[in-house]
Chains A and B, each alone.
Chain A
Amino acid sequence: MTITVPGATDTAAPGGAPAGGLAAHQVSVAYGGQRVLDRVDLHIAPGETVGLRGPSGSGKSTLARVLALLHAPDSGHVTIDGQPLGGVRHRLPAALRTRVAVLFQSPRAATDPRLSLADIVAEPLRATGTPREQAAARAAELADLAGLTPDLLTRRPHAVSDGQLQRACLARALVHRPDYLLCDEATAMLDASTQAHVAAVIGDYQRRQGAGVLVITHDPALMARWATRVVDLPTA
């Protein structure tokens, strides 16, 4: 189903939206004098896959960053399960931040070039106090799920392909078992087989955990296959 509503984007969002889920309410963002989001609403229910599309510069990635609790909107707010959040980034507790994971478009920019792939996957667990052995075991399990062979885990980002690196990013994103996963053109730089594998792993995770997923993509075929509901984001 495709919903296109200029201005206020998502008709399934606030107002008539259920209390559960991740939602943006009347979110506006401007960079300098340039407004990129203008009173946008978006709601992602648990277990739902929402597709977000729009022309380049329409603010899709900015909206994803707002929903990922990484960017403070100029006005409006974000709620999780109906609870308004009073800040972004380090102003929120780690337990709340880890409920929303992001899969970025460029795996190379999204990984610390100094760390091995095993460390990249295990890092969120180490950062939240998980003992080294447990973190390594969980990272190995997820790396296997994402299709990374053990020999790749010892390599650093510069020694693997974009596809292999995005698999590591996917494993990292799932390591805390997030309730919501935001995929910001996460498959744009991947070949067809890696794209299919990433989509399959996310779909399987979503079925098991009942996670809500936001998919941002310019690929109509992928959007049609993946998203259960599509939201158009007009240029602000």
Chain B
Amino acid sequence: MKIQNDARYAKSDEWVRVEGGVAVVGVSDYAQGKLGDVVFVGDISVGSTLKAGDLLTSVESVKAASDVYTPVSGKVLEVNHEVTAKPELLNSDAFGAGWLAKIELSNPDELNGLMSATDYAEYRKE
């Protein structure tokens, strides 16, 4: 299980990394491992405003479907069309090429409510 140190994590296995005031959101390497080969990543609409915990999208493997929730509130600025076209990116590079959306942080304090990499590693210890 890979864990990225500069990201914060939600209990439902999403990660968020702040890059120049913008939150990049994805699902953790642990979650993609549990799902198995990802075959579908649902569309996310650019411009929609979400509250932390709202449904962001859903991802599917051949044996499971999983809802992905945004760990932070804000407006969706950009989505990763590459991962919707090639869902396997979520398996090969969950923290990099497999990112899902960029969100304009409306409440940066929410980050404090998320887990650190160390806490998340402990939380998902096998």
**A, B co-complexed:** no
Contacts from A to B (Cβ < 8 Å):
none
Contacts from B to A (Cβ < 8 Å):
none
